Structure 1
Amino acid sequence: MDCQIKTLLVGIDAGCRSVLDPLFEDGALPHLRSIFAEGSSGPLESQIPPWTPSAWPSMYTGTNPGKHGVFGFLDFDGYDWDVVNATRVREHTLWELLDRHGHSSVVVNAPVTHPPRAFDGAILPGYTAPENPTCYPEGLLEEVRNEIGDYRVYPPRNLPLDESVEWYRRLVTMRGEAFRYLADRFDPDFGFVQFQSTDTVFHEHPGEDGVARAVYEAVDEQVGEILDACDPDTVVVASDHGIGEYAGYEFRVNDFLREEGYVETVRGGEGMPSWSTIASNQLQRGKESSPRERGWAERGLATAARVGITSQRIGAVLERAGLDEFVVKHVPEDFIRAATEQVDFSNSVAYMRDRIECGVRINLEGREPDGVVPPERYEEVRAELVEKLGSVRTPDGRPVFETVAPREAFFDGPYSENAVDVVCVPAEFDQFLSAQLRGRRFGPPREPWNHKLNGIFAVAGAEIDSDATCAGAHLFDVAPTILATFDVPASDRMDGRVLPVVEPAGEQSYPAYDAGETVETDDERVEARLADLGYLE
């Protein structure tokens, strides 16, 4: 293999020192540990919201979501939604800026990069892409599969533990093998390989240290082989957020807003669903019902819901009786949706439409299709929400939120209006937010492990000042810092700074991004995979 990468970015989803340090101490990750030991490193503060589909675009564009346009897994059009894809990322990526300066790139498994845009190099898209994504150049996926064997974006679903661990390792190996093949094939100046399984393992097997260790050992092995094969001048390791145990509560925002008079609900399948856990589990299995079954059963359950017998209430009883899993396996999803009490978005004053967004949206006249809040009352309603949400306490008396503020405190740019109107930052990210209607404000966290705000950043190389501090590093700083390793100016639209480990190359005004046509994802398999991990409720 004959390639010489100038700068390599290794993306480790959910990477954080609380996970890495015990593995470093055990000598389990020699290659990653050497990067941290030989270079400069520190915590990397993520953004709000600190979730994969918004945070990775923020990292590789150097801009906040108000500028690049992606705030979560879902993109909303009125009250309807679709899973985000690359056509929603409306700012230049760092590999596109490098292309403008004559540098080529290979990008493997970066989230929200499907369908890819043309540039000098190659890209295999990652998370939110379909299982057989369009790649660049055309035909690249088939070429990679012919060269290395199977290549997948996601593992098979609903696997037993031993097979699940094996698939994590196989996916990690696929990333490394594909990257090395493409690096040899295209001889890029910049390389970016992202590992998603380091996040997935904590959602699917929370607290199982042995499983997480197996995934990280596989990542370290691939990193070592990439370093040997590509001999990069500079290596950057970065994550989009951290991960950790949640010791607080699940706070059901829409239940709170209903009690406060902001949320209206509807039964019988006529509103946008706030899905119960039993419905979410059914969606994951993707079971469908026949037209005949839907006819009589949905009508019956919808009627029951209208008199108060909702799937949430049924689910609670079944759970206590230990029958919820049996019902999930045998009752089609449409039945459960028909009996689910739902947030009536079009008749509500304000609501949480997606927990990943970390906030509340106001149903504003002139902006939403059926807005009920007049523009002249917008600031009044928003101030009320900030005050009420900011004063919420857990059952043991602790604040639910560290910060409740207008969106302008976190987002600026041409797409800020697509954000929530009130941003709600959980205290220490120890309180689990939910958009579900469950009849009570609080409950135990649905996921015992989830995202934390601080990730990791490490950089090493001959041209890196390893004595310089990375203190205060932010997610937005990664792109301008990588550009500086090429002596390429950062975009004057970037929100980050060049970290002092490398000399800045100044700023430049790049052409405005041409958004082009938006393409729908409309892929139930992608949606089901996101539901598996708890991202879609």
Structure 2
Amino acid sequence: MSAARVAPQLAVVGLDGVSFNVLMPMVDRGILPNFRRLLDLGAHGPLISTVPWQTPVAWTSMATGVNPGGHGVYGWWNPDLRSGELVPVSGAQVERARYWEVLSGTGVAVGVVNVPMSYPARPVRGFTIAGLDCPSSAPEEDPLLAYPRGVLDEVARTTPDGVRRYRVMPERLDGEDTLAAATRWTEVERHRADSFFALVERYRPGFVQLNLFATDHIAHRTRPGDPARDLAYRSADEFLGRFLDRYPDTDVLVVSDHGSCPIDHFLMVHNFLRELDVLHFGPWLADEQVPVVLGPHASAEECARLVERLRREGRGTRAEMFERHRDRFPGANVGFSTIDWDRTSAFCTSDYGQLRINRERGAGAVVSDAKHRRLLERLGAAFLDLRRPSGEPLVERVLRRDELYRGPHAAAGPDLTPVPAATDVYFCQVYSFYGTGEGRLLAPIGEVVDPARTGCAGDHHAEGVLIAAGPRITARGRLAEASLLDIAPTVLDLFGVEPLPEHEGVVLADLRGRDRRGPSPGEPVDEQAEGLRRRLMSLGYRI
């Protein structure tokens, strides 16, 4: 006789890139019955993202309860001015404790699958399988993907398709039409759900979280109403239905890291900086342009080998190869790896036009504080002067680093952040999109790239979703606006655990009929909280 099913106390369902402007029309069409079920049972409202509103930044802020200045993740890549290379970012750099790790430290068993920036999987009471920052193309062979280390072998024994089918994301998506890509994502996420349910039955955790990513991948490649987008959202709805049917007594929080919206134009940030004479590229083949010059049939291995050779042999080889290709690809020298630091005082490596001042490399470095202030003022004013052909402003305001970020990693953040005046313009810094040598500042996306193939039919906006329902969730209807930073203290509160002193958000106590409350600086820390603090610090977390 099988053991009775034990329901988790709380589930967080993370949906990448979901927003109400896309979700609600599908609910109204009747194609998402389980979203409708949750909306009718509980409460919902907007969940405001981080700046920038990007997957690695937002999920890390949600999990740790602190802004990027507190955890140090500002994007998928960090610019390393010493090497002149972009360095990939992973969860290994995050020193802060995530809310499921805090719960584990209090004795709650947890089960967490596919949260971005959670690689390598850290030890917990329960199980974890990491997410998008996993570096391996064969995750079942990566001993750091999951904890306990044999957990994927358990998946192989307890699910029909087993470990060989577990993937962080589908293989070989390039070149497929959007409906085929959505179908492959659906297959991967159905198997992910199978693995999740098998492990929940095995470990019986009190807290669980599963993140799904197809909704974001397809939103970048389609417009609302596209069958591929419908399929991605229906896949998420299918998981919700399976979960609600299995665990009707579990409280559920559905959250997204940011919203999604159509985009129509690129604001070419590198061209903006070049016109201001603060950014220059040398006559050398850039790492970022290697796939362009090798052509569409080049394999990832061929591209990697050439990049390795360019880095090993240096500027002589880069210059020779650029001369060979510049007639066909006049923008083949555009990339972070080919910035001429002797003539560059400002640069951009952010998907959202965030600028950094070069303060340390080459003759172009801005060493003087006075010059630094003047350059920030000049760049900010230039952003505000940008106009559409109709005369409408492209930038609403410009924020300085100290207006956005605080904490031990604030100094690593971008110096300036432009706030777009509308969501249809994407502040493009993707180096490979400059391969034609095109010098325009504002360009229709379809004249630069294939929007569907490159993921530029849509992008992100700041408003994600929060949907809450369950036996202990008394709120109904519309919720007041909340922040990603509110999720960590709220999850802890639902288990009777005090938020950590570092948490910047408020407890969403209105989910249970109370007033929202935030941290109260200066209040004495009780003995339980101090004991938890010591345990987490002993594990290496910054508290």
TM-score, scaled relative to structure 2: 0.82
Q: 1:83 aligns with which of 83, 88, 92?
A: 88
The residue number in structure 2 matching 1:104 is 109
Q: Which one of 194, 206, 216 corresponds to residue 189 of structure 1?
A: 206
Give the 3 Å change call, closer, same or farther, for CA 429–417 of structure 1 in structure 2.
Answer: farther
User: Hey, what does 1:128 align to over in structure 2?
Assistant: 133
Give the conservation status (yes or no) of the 8 Å contact 2:342–2:364: yes
The 3 A distance-change label for structure 1 pair 9 and 370 is farther
Match of 1:286 in 2: 300
Paired position in structure 1 for 2:284: 268
The corresponding residue for 1:223 is 240
Equivalent residue number for residue 139 of structure 1: 150
Report the Cα offset of residue 192 of structure 1.
Answer: 0.4
Structure 1 position 386 matched with structure 2 position 389: no
Per-residue deviation, 1:136: 0.5
Query: Residue type matched to 2:167 in 1?
Result: R
Instruction: Give the structure 2 partner of residue 527 of structure 1.
Output: none
C-alpha distance in structure 2 between counterparts of 1:448 and 1:170, whole Å:
23
- 1:154-191 per-residue CA deviation (whole Å, 9 max, x = no partner) reads 11222533542321211220221111111111111111
Tell me: CA distance 1:81–1:341, structure 2 relative to 1, closer, same or farther (3 Å): closer
- Asked if structure 2 preserves the Cα contact closer than 8 Å seen for 1:71 and 1:357, the reply is no
* Greater displacement, 141-150 / 218-227: 141-150
Q: 2:387 and 2:272 mapped to 1: Cα distance?
A: 12
Q: What whole-Å deviation, never above 9, does each CA across 1:493-537 have from its counterpart, x for those lacking one?
A: 1121112213579755635868979xxxxxxxxxxxxxxxxxxxx
Structure 2 SS opposite 1:424: strand
* 8 Å CA contact retained: 1:311, 1:340: no
Match of 2:523 in 1: none
Corresponding residue for residue 2 of structure 1: 5
Cα distance change of structure 1 residues 250 and 338 upon mapping to structure 2, 3 Å threshold: closer
Q: What SS does the aligned partner of 1:265 have?
A: coil
Q: Can you list the C-alpha shifts for 1:239-270, whole angstroms capped at 9, x where unaligned?
A: 000111114x211112111111111221123x
Distance 1:281 1:416 in 2: 40
Instruction: Report the CA distance between 1:313 and its aligned residue.
Output: 3.3
The separation in 1 between residues aligned to 2:298 and 2:274, in whole angstroms, is: 27
Cα pair 1:489 1:505 within 8 Å, conserved: no
Query: Deviation at 1:428?
Result: 3.0
Matched, 1:153 2:162: no
CA distance change for structure 1 residues 285 and 45 in 2, over 3 Å: closer, same or farther? farther
Q: How does 1:231-250 map to 2 (within 5 A)?
A: 231-247=248-264, 249-250=265-266
Q: Distance in 1 between matches of 2:383 and 2:427?
A: 12
Paired with 2:374 and 2:19, the residues of 1 have a C-alpha distance of 40
1:501 is matched with which residue: 504, 507, 511?
Answer: 511
Quick check: 2:282–2:333 contact (8 Å CA) kept in 1?
no
- C-alpha separation between the residues in 1 aligned to 2:98 and 2:402? 24
1:356 aligns with 2:351: yes
1:455 and 2:450 equivalent? no
The two structures, once aligned, show a CA RMSD in angstroms of 3.2
In 2 relative to 1, CA 300–421 (structure 1 residues): closer, same or farther, beyond 3 Å? closer
Give 1:364's aligned amino acid.
Answer: R
Match in the other structure for 2:525: none
Structure 2 match to 1:29 = 32
Question: Alignment length, in residue pairs?
Answer: 487
How far did residue 39 of structure 1 move?
0.9
Structure 2 stretches of 5 or more lacking a match? Answer: 450-455, 520-528
The answer on whether the counterparts of 1:15 and 1:198 sit within 8 Å (CA) in structure 2 is yes
Asked if 1:114 is matched to 2:108, the reply is: no
SS of the residue aligned with 1:178? Answer: helix
CA contact (8 A) 1:85 1:128 kept: yes
TM-score (norm 1): 0.82
1:491 alignment partner, SS class? coil
Indicate whether 1:344 and 2:353 are aligned.
no
8 A contact 1:203–1:449 mirrored in 2:
yes
SS of equivalent residue, structure 1 residue 429? coil
In the alignment, the residues of structure 2 paired with residue 252 and residue 165 of structure 1 have an alpha-carbon distance, to the nearest angstrom, of: 29
Deviation at 1:145, TM superposition (A): 3.1
Q: Any unmatched runs of 5+ in structure 1?
A: 315-335, 518-537
Amino acid at match of 1:81: L
Q: How big is each residue's C-alpha offset from its partner over 1:467-497, in whole Å with a ceiling of 9 and x where there is no partner?
A: 4852121111111111111111111211211
Q: 2-side partners of 1:390 and 1:481: how far apart? A: 38
Q: Does 1:251 align with 2:267?
A: yes
C-alpha spacing 1:396/1:192, structure 2 compared with 1 (3 Å)? same
Structure 1 residues 48 and 55, CA, compared in 2 at 3 Å: closer, same or farther? same
Does 2:450 correspond to 1:433? Answer: no
Work out which of the residue numbers 60, 65, 73 in structure 1 matches 2:63: 60
Q: Partners of 1:77 and 1:452 in 2: how far apart?
A: 28
Partner residue of 1:95 out of 92, 100, 117: 100
Moved more, 180-189 or 137-146: 137-146
Q: Look up the equivalent residue of 1:42 and give its one-letter code.
A: G
State how far apart, in whole Å, the 1-side matches of 2:260 and 2:299 are. Answer: 26
- Separation in 1 of the partners of 2:492 and 2:483? 15
Give 1:111 shift: 0.6
